[in-house]
Amino acid sequence: MEKTYIITLIPGDGTGPEITETVKKVLAATGVRINWDTVIAGETALQKLGTPLPDNVIESIRKNKIALKGPLTTPIGTGFRSVNVALRQILNLYACLRPCKSYKGVKSRYQDLDLVLVRENTEDLYAGIEFAPESNEAKEIVKMSKGKAREGSAISIKPISKIGSEQIVRFAFEYAVKHKRKKVTAVAKANIMKITDGLFYDTAREVAKKYPSIEYEEKLVDNMCMQLVQKPELYDVLVLPNLYGDILSDLCAGLIGGLGIAPGANFGEDMALFEAVHGSAPKYTGMNKVNPTALLLSSKLMLDYIGETEKASRLEKALSAVIAEGRRVTYDLGGKSTTADMGDAIIERLG
């Protein structure tokens, strides 16, 4: 008898619900059996429940250990800088995985790219430890800086820990081994931030010694940006602290055609959240025209995670065939199809 999975579903805001509805139908067509535990977050939850991140969202993910999330809008003026960031920190989803792979039929200056970005998800400047210029903490830090920080400076603190760095670098190497990747590149700015980014590099070198079959190298983040634009084919798995990872993940998405085809996944020790990393596109709400590819590819990662690798492979092959054919795809891929019609075309390919 086929196993049935209970998975948390957060439909999202704006165009999220129509995208997730199409994804649910495609996943059902793969043959995987899923009971969806549907909860709401973001702007939708704020309007209905008075908070963008209700307790039952966290409870559901902790219980089910797996979640699929459509794009969320973080409402302005709430206590959350980002619902996405809050989810990662509350659930300790310390690793963000962003595969960047070329698909035939997607317009891009680059072809045959297949690299993976691994981003630390909980530390760095995204920890949100900030002080206003008039605060006692900021004034004290300005004094301690001995003139390096001007009076009236706003202050943001960048925590980088050995345990956090070790965790994320080990994740990158384990991913490389499992997926037969050949090289891991650690990216930071240790020539300037010698202590924080220096700790990240020192830790990465220690971890790398335990994986002699995988080539290890280091690149400064500014140089890495240039390298990715000039010769991205030289890179395989990139591992980065939080802020650099956020910036470079969008750069890498640009290399393959944009966020509309860029999947995302967040992993903790015993749970995972899969998501579309693009925005909720509220101006297109209800028009049934937004590309579902990013969330479909995130779902493919989810199927791999739960061990349904054959169904994951079939899903990706069907999706790539529809995109390559270019006949029943959404406007951003050069077609005129609706979200639902593109989903139906993929289902037909699944056979």
- 139 in the same domain as 46: no
Has residue 119 been placed in a domain? no
Residue 175 annotated in active site: no
The total domain count for the chain is 3
Element (H, E) at 216: strand 215-220
CATH number of 215's domain: 3.40.50.2300
CATH number of 275's domain: 3.40.718.10
Residue 103 annotated in active site: no
For residue 225, which of 193, 252, 198 has the smallest C-alpha distance?
Answer: 252
Catalytic residue selected from 189, 219, 289, 300: 189
pTM, entire model = 0.94
Cα distances (Å, whole numbers) of residue 288 to 28, 45, 246, 347, 350: 20, 22, 29, 17, 22
How does pLDDT run across 54-63, given as a tens digit for each residue? Answer: 999 999 999 9
Has residue 118 been placed in a domain? no
Catalytic residue selected from 5, 103, 126, 235: 126
Residue 304 annotated in active site: no
Q: How many helices (H) and strands (E) does the chain have?
A: 12, 12
Residue 126 annotated in active site: yes
Measure the CA–CA gap between 19 and 296, rounded to whole angstroms: 9
State the chain's maximal CA–CA distance in angstroms: 69
Measure the CA–CA gap between 249 and 100, rounded to whole angstroms: 8
Position 85 pLDDT exceeds 90: no
Instruction: Give the per-residue pLDDT at 338.
Output: 97
Domain that residue 276 falls in = 1-103+257-351
Residues in contact with 192: Cβ distance below 8 Å, sequence separation at least 6, in sequence order: none
Confidence of residue 1 (pLDDT cuts 50, 70, 90): low
Has residue 223 been placed in a domain? yes
Position 311 pLDDT exceeds 80: yes
